[in-house]
Structure formats: structure tokens, C-alpha cells
């Protein structure tokens, strides 16, 4: 598609250097590669300004060329996997447009990496709580487009809770800005929240206005080990009843623990079993008080309760926790990992149900996730060479969606819908609501060229 590339080259600065006439394989997949998902595209463009994004969008829209916006490509739903047409990479849009630490706010472009937003806050005495995995790879635009979560979403909310404004390009190539450096705004419908989490299907997010809070002095996690999921889930509920709001409330089931057993940063106090992590935060005194309460709450029914001391041990614990997703990839090479959310009192049912589905389908399973939010990463493992196992894993995912529906839960807590959960919304919403979803897409993108096929109801 040399011709397409030539044409796009005229729309962006850097000309031919900012365009690729064929799409490298790194840009046709995301973290769903482990389940065998791969797309295709005709060209890649790397705009550096909002105006260039608008120009490319207008050009594509006029010619019926699909556009797949792309951030760091760390998504687990295939949201950045192209379906032909142009891959629009935001990575060159990485300016910090404004930073006002004393006013707790910044405006950054979509391509700024998540880790750099976190660092920007930290280096200025502030805290940006959203902490989805793969912060080194993912970009803030992608985090906002998927409304990404993470462990600390339990206390602090998901990415959208920290977005006070969005700049986006909407079809057929118009720039809109909603919200801003204002902390409350009801002047219009909440277009900002509508764009947040829309996975590039309504508009291409080019910049976001973020808010911060002052840095948190101390974080003290407590780790409890339990004989099974039911005892662990009871400990999670005990934390909720403790009067403390944990900063994070996580779990790893027995199988997940087994996978990362060797990497555990200390001696594992008991045989691998179900684990719950509750973190206390605040001033040193406050976090220390809260840790005592959480340790008490975690101790009932526990085989062991650990309190890692020292910043190094605490950071190691979180790195270990974050590593479970990658470690699961490595077990057999293939993985179908579905991010479901259930009412927190159905957590044990969801964990046990996942295991039961795996047994029925003849697959190794494990799960871990954000226990306090009832948000599971329910995972089926298989060898990438085993096509039959892969088919069974995809069928297991369908079973899982059915289970989720029965438990009154959602098919996606934080990873999004992308390609892999397209067509599942009827499990969650009635026909009238699904119809509104369809109409919203059509309103923004009547030609269905913006990330087509993604987040489809």
C-alpha cells in the first residue's frame, strides 16, 4: 500500500518517516497474542499533533478507510488489534502540555507513558493512583480509552476518576474538548465519561486533563494465606467490615500462587494456597494503625499472616503480584484470561466456578485480581501448539461469561471489550439499552470506521 502511505505522509510532520507502508507484526497484536489473536493493517501513521490526528481521520473518513488508534498495545481485549486500514499510533504525541503541581493538575498528550505520568506526579510531591499493569509499556491515552483499573482502584477509583477533561478527534475529523482544568462541570452531558472507556470507537483521545492528590507517605501491605477461596473471600469481607478503607484488596488463588511461587520475594510461610493482600496507606501513623486493623481482619481463618517491612520488601511484593499475568503466559505459552467483575459477595462463587469450568473443559486454570472490587482475571492455560485446547479455552470463556451473568456480574471490569468480548453485552444489558449502545456508536461514527468491530454490543 505504498500509495496509501504516500498520501498519509502528506498529512503528518516527518513526512515519509512518520508513515509505514506495511504494518510491522508488533503493531498487529496486543497482549491477546497469547490467545492467538492477530490482525492486519495497510499502513501505520505516527502523528505528532491533534491537528494531524484530525487531518488523518478526515482523510480516512472521506475515503472509507478504517482507523485503529493505538497506544502501548498492552491491552488484554484486542482493542488495538487492527482490522485492516490505518493503524494510528499516538506514541509521538507525548508532550506534557501543562503541569501545575501546586494546583494538583496536568494536561498530557495521549502518547505519554503511564509510568511517566506516575513519575511526573511523584517527582512533584503528588500521587496519580491509577496503576494498571504494564505501566512501562502502556500510554495514558490507552488507559483513558479503556478506563483502566489496577490494584489501587479499590480505594481511589479507575482511571476515569482522575480525568477532568478530554481532547479527542471525532468523525469525520473534528476536534472536541470537554471538561478542563475545572474539578466540577455540569455544563453539558458527560461526554467526557462517554469517551473514557469507549476504546477508540467513538473518538480518538489526543490529550487528557488529569488531577492528582498529594503524595501518600506510607503503604503497608498485609498478606494472608488461606486454605481455599471461600476462606479467602471471607477474609476480604472481613476487611470491608473492619472500618478501614484498604488502598488495595487483592487475591491470588492456589493455582496462581503455584505459578509465581518461586518468585515470591520471601520464604513462603505455608504450602502454596489462596492469598489475600490488603494494603493500608496514609501518613505513617495512620497507615500503621490501619495495618493493624487489616491484619486483625485477615487473621480469622488464616493459615498465616505476613506483614512485609521496609520499602524494598513492599515494592518486591507488588512487583511479584504484578508479575502473575506474565508468569501465566509462560506456563504453557497460551492463555485465555478474562477480566470479569461480580458483586464482591459472589467472589468465591466466581473463583470456584472458574476452576469448575476448567475441569469440565480439561484445562489448567488459575485466577487472581482485585478482590475488593469483585474483579477477577479468570484464566485458562494451554499450549499454543494445541489447537484443540485453544478451542476449548475459548469455549471455557463463553462458559465463564454465562457464569458471570448468573452471578449478576459484568463481562469486563477493567480490560474492556475490544474484539474478544464483542457481542456479549446482551448478557449485561436489556435489549433497549443495547439498542442505545448501537445508536451511540452510529451517532459518533456513522460509517463505522473508528476501530471497527471493537466494543460492539
Of the residues 18, 196, 222, 252, which one makes contact with its own copies according to CB under 8 A: 196
Which secondary structure element, helix H or strand E, spans residue 375, and what is its range? strand 375-383
DSSP E strands in 253-357: the ranges are 274-282, 304-306, 333-341
Site string for its own copies, 85-104 (x = CB under 8 A): ---------------x-xxx
Contact window for its own copies (CB under 8 A) among 108-116, 128-136, 184-192, 329-337: 184-192
Q: With CB under 8 A, what is the number of residues at the site for its own copies?
A: 91
* 424 binds its own copies, rule: CB under 8 A: yes
Span interacting with its own copies, options 299-307, 328-336, 337-345, 385-393, rule CB under 8 A: 337-345
Binding residue (CB under 8 A) for its own copies from 1, 58, 99, 161: 161
Q: In the complex, what is the shortest distance from the CB of residue 280 to its own copies, in angstroms, rounded to a whole number?
A: 12
Would you count residue 191 as binding its own copies (CB under 8 A)? yes
Note whether 26 binds its own copies by CB under 8 A: no
Cell of 168: 479527542
360 binds its own copies (CB under 8 A): no
Candidates 24, 333, 408, 423: give the one binding its own copies (CB under 8 A). 408
Residue 414 makes contact with its own copies by CB under 8 A: yes
Stretch of 56-64, 88-96, 134-142, 336-344 lying at the interface with its own copies (CB under 8 A): 336-344
Among 421, 445, 452, 453, binds its own copies (CB under 8 A): 421
Collapsing DSSP to helix, strand or coil, 42 comes out as: coil
Half-sphere exposure for 189 (CA within 13 Å, toward CB): 3
CA 128 centroid distance within chain: 15
Residue from 10, 97, 122, 183 in contact with its own copies (CB under 8 A): 183
Work out which of 406, 429, 447, 448 binds its own copies, going by CB under 8 A.
429
CB of 91 closer than 8 Å to CB of 141 = no
Judged by CB under 8 A, does residue 373 bind its own copies? yes
Distance of CA 315 to the CA centre of its chain: 21
296 contributes a contact to its own copies by CB under 8 A: no
Contact call for residue 55 and its own copies (CB under 8 A): no
- Check residue 289 for interaction with its own copies (CB under 8 A): yes
CA distance 224 to 419: 36
Residue 51 in the binding site for its own copies (CB under 8 A): no
Contact between 65 and 448 (Cβ < 8 Å): no
- Burial class of 136 by CB neighbour count within 10 A (0 to 12, 13 to 18, 19+): exposed
The Cα angle at residue 246 between residues 195 and 101, in degrees rounded to 5: 55
Q: Does 370 bind its own copies (CB under 8 A)?
A: yes
Residue choice 2, 25, 26, 241 for contact with its own copies (CB under 8 A): 241
* C-alpha to C-alpha distance for 423 and 457, rounded to whole angstroms: 5
Helix (H) or strand (E) holding 315: helix 311-322
Measured between alpha carbons, how far is 106 from 168 in angstroms, rounded to an integer?
A: 17
CB 193 to its own copies: min, Å: 3
Q: Answer for the pair 413, 428: CB distance below 8 angstroms, yes or no.
A: no
Of 27-35, 58-66, 157-165, 297-305, which segment contacts its own copies by CB under 8 A? 157-165
Nearest CB to its own copies, comparing residues 222 and 257:
222
Tell me which of 75, 151, 160, 452 binds its own copies, using CB under 8 A. 160
Closest by CA to 71, choosing from 122, 108, 37, 124, is 108
CB 176 within 8 A of CB 168: yes
Residue from 4, 277, 348, 411 binding its own copies (CB under 8 A): 411
> Interface with its own copies includes 234 (CB under 8 A)?
no
Q: Does 245 bind its own copies (CB under 8 A)?
A: yes
* Contact between 197 and its own copies per CB under 8 A: yes
Tell me if 12 sits within 8 A of 31, measured CB to CB: no
CB nearer to its own copies: pick between 281 and 306: 281
CB of 330 to its own copies, least distance (A): 27
What binding mask, one character per residue, do residues 111-150 give for its own copies by CB under 8 A, x or -?
A: --------------x--------------------xx-x-
Residue with grid cell 504525541, as numbered in its chain = 93
In the complex, minimum distance from the CB of residue 412 to its own copies, in angstroms, rounded to a whole number = 5
**CA–CA distance, 80 with 87 (Å, rounded to integer):** 9
Lookup: cell for 26:
508488533
| CA 203 to centroid of chain Cα atoms | 18
The rounded distance, in Å, linking the Cα atoms of 348 and 267 is 27
Amino acid at each position: 500500500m505504498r500509495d496509501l502511505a504516500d498520501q498519509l505522509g502528506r498529512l503528518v510532520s516527518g513526512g515519509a518517516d512518520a508513515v509505514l507502508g506495511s504494518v510491522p507484526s508488533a503493531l498487529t497484536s496486543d497482549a491477546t497474542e497469547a490467545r492467538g489473536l492477530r490482525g492486519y493493517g495497510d499502513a501505520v501513521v505516527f502523528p505528532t499533533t491533534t491537528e494531524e490526528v484530525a487531518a488523518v481521520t478526515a482523510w480516512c473518513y472521506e475515503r472509507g478507510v478504517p482507523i485503529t488508534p493505538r497506544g502501548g498495545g498492552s491491552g488484554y481485549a484486542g482493542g488495538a488489534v487492527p482490522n485492516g486500514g490505518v493503524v494510528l499510533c499516538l506514541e509521538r504525541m507525548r508532550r506534557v502540555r501543562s503541569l501545575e503541581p501546586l494546583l494538583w493538575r496536568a494536561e498530557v498528550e495521549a502518547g505519554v507513558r503511564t509510568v511517566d505520568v506516575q513519575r511526573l506526579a511523584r517527582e512533584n510531591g503528588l500521587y496519580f493512583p491509577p496503576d494498571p499493569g504494564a505501566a512501562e509499556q502502556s500510554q495514558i491515552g490507552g488507559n483513558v480509552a479503556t478506563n483502566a483499573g489496577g490494584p489501587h482502584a479499590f480505594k481511589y477509583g479507575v482511571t476515569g476518576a482522575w480525568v477532568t477533561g478530554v481532547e479527542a478527534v471525532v468523525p469525520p475529523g473534528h476536534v472536541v474538548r470537554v471538561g478542563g482544568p475545572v474539578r466540577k462541570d455540569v455544563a453539558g452531558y458527560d461526554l467526557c465519561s462517554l469517551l473514557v472507556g469507549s476504546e477508540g470507537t467513538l473518538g480518538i483521545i489526543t490529550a487528557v486533563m488529569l488531577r492528582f492528590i498529594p503524595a501518600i507517605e506510607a503503604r503497608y501491605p498485609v498478606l494472608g494465606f488461606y486454605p481455599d477461596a471461600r476462606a479467602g473471600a471471607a477474609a476480604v469481607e472481613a476487611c470491608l467490615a473492619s472500618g478501614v478503607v484498604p488502598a488495595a484488596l487483592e487475591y491470588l488463588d492456589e493455582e496462581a500462587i503455584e505459578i509465581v511461587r518461586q518468585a515470591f520475594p520471601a520464604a513462603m510461610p505455608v504450602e502454596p494456597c489462596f492469598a489475600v493482600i490488603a494494603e493500608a496507606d496514609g501518613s505513617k501513623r495512620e497507615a500503621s494503625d490501619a495495618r493493624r486493623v487489616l491484619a486483625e481482619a485477615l487473621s480469622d481463618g488464616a493459615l498465616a499472616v505476613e506483614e512485609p517491612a521496609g520499602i524494598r520488601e513492599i515494592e518486591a511484593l507488588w512487583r511479584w503480584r504484578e508479575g502473575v499475568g506474565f508468569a501465566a503466559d509462560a506456563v504453557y505459552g497460551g492463555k485465555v484470561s478474562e477480566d470479569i467483575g461480580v458483586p464482591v459477595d459472589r467472589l468465591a462463587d466466581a473463583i470456584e466456578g472458574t476452576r469448575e469450568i476448567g475441569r469440565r473443559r480439561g484445562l489448567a486454570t488459575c485466577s487472581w485480581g482485585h478482590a475488593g472490587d469483585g474483579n477477577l482475571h479468570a484464566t485458562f492455560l494451554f499450549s499454543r501448539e494445541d489447537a484443540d485446547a485453544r478451542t476449548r479455552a475459548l469455549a471455557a470463556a463463553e462458559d465463564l461469561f454465562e457464569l458471570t451473568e448468573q452471578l449478576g456480574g459484568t463481562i469486563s471490569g477493567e480490560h474492556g471489550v475490544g474484539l474478544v468480548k464483542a457481542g456479549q453485552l446482551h448478557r449485561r444489558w436489556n435489549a433497549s439499552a443495547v439498542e442505545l449502545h448501537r445508536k451511540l456508536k452510529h451517532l459518533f461514527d456513522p460509517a463505522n470506521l473508528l476501530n471497527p468491530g471493537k466494543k460492539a454490543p
